[in-house]
Structure 1
Amino acid sequence: MTIRLRGHHLLCLLGYRGKGYSDGFCANMTTIYETLRTQPETELELIEGPDDICAAFPDDQVPHCENDSVYRKDEDILALAGLRIGARIRWSDVCTQVAMRVKPDDIGRLCRSCRWEPLGLCREGVGHLAGGGLLRELPGNAAKEPPT
């Protein structure tokens, strides 16, 4: 099984704690997250544009998957991590690259337009990875929406 991911979702996964845009989105994201958490040798294909996470974005919300700012964020994150679109790479190798090249303070700059950034989850996830950690078990009762 190969999971198709865009650049910024590599960092989103590090910060994922069961929160999302809808129940369907969370179910899809949790399935991907748990696959990578329990099977870190899973192969990824790094793609441009909407990926396997975007596939579950709710139809009743304004999608941002095709926004220019999201494409720029994908490019910036891949470049910083030393990765490229079209690469086929194991999740464990992505984690190694991110741990070596991405710092928690990079999140504020890279993800400043993301509604989830103020929660600090991705910043904390990058720090955890840099400290030798891996994806953690998800909390049992996380809220769906970030505070406004």
Structure 2
Amino acid sequence: MTIRLRGHHLLCLLGYRGMGYSDDFCVNMTAIYEKLRVEPETEVEIITGPDDVCKAYPPDKAYHCEGTVYGLDADVLAKLGLRAGERGSWQSICDRVAKVMVPEDISHLCTTCPWEKYGVCAEGVGLLAEGKSLPKVGA
């Protein structure tokens, strides 16, 4: 099973701790996060636009999966040296994050993200940089 992810979701997943836009969104995001956490050799395809995380975005919220987030996607991919269309294991993406990023990069890349203020994505980058695993959701 290949999980399709857009650029900025590569970082969102590092900081996912169970918070989200709706119950359905959290169920979907937790399933993706735990699959990648438990099976890091899972193949990830980097795509442009709405991905497997976006498919559970609540219909009653302002839809942001198109538009302004494309710039963030591009910035994250540039930082990681990745391109849309590439495929690789989740572990290879985590290894790349650990090699090229520091926690402070989140505050520079993700300035418009409402989740940035919680510090969880920076924490996730820090865990990888220290060679540690991401935590189980709810742990």
TM category (shorter chain) comes to over 0.9
Note the C-alpha offset of 1:24: 0.0
Pairing 1:34–2:48 present: no
List per-residue Cα deviations over 1:101-132 (Å, max 9, x = no partner): 11111101100100000111101110111000
Note the C-alpha offset of 1:67: 1.9
Note the C-alpha offset of 1:82: 1.3
Aligned twin of 2:46: 46
**C-alpha separation in 2, matches of 1:16 and 1:120:** 11
Pairing 1:88–2:82 present: no
Aligned twin of 1:113: 112
Pairing 1:20–2:1 present: no
**C-alpha separation in 1, matches of 2:64 and 2:133:** 28
**C-alpha separation in 2, matches of 1:86 and 1:134:** 26
2:10 match: secondary structure: helix
What is the percentage of aligned positions where both structures have the same residue?
59
Give the letter aligned to residue 74 of structure 2.
Answer: E
Note the C-alpha offset of 1:134: 2.0
**C-alpha separation in 1, matches of 2:75 and 2:100:** 12
Give the letter aligned to residue 49 of structure 1.
Answer: G
Give the letter aligned to residue 104 of structure 1.
Answer: P
Aligned twin of 1:126: 125
Give the letter aligned to residue 115 of structure 1.
Answer: P
1:107 match: secondary structure: helix
Structure 1, unmatched stretches of 5+, are 141-148
Map 1:49-68 to 2 at 5 A: 49-68=49-68
**C-alpha separation in 2, matches of 1:31 and 1:124:** 20
**C-alpha separation in 1, matches of 2:72 and 2:97:** 15
The number of residues matched between the two structures is 139
TM, length-normalised to structure 1: 0.92
Runs of 4+ in 1 over 6 A off after TM superposition: none
Note the C-alpha offset of 1:133: 1.3
TM, length-normalised to structure 2: 0.98
1:44 match: secondary structure: strand
Give the letter aligned to residue 18 of structure 2.
Answer: G
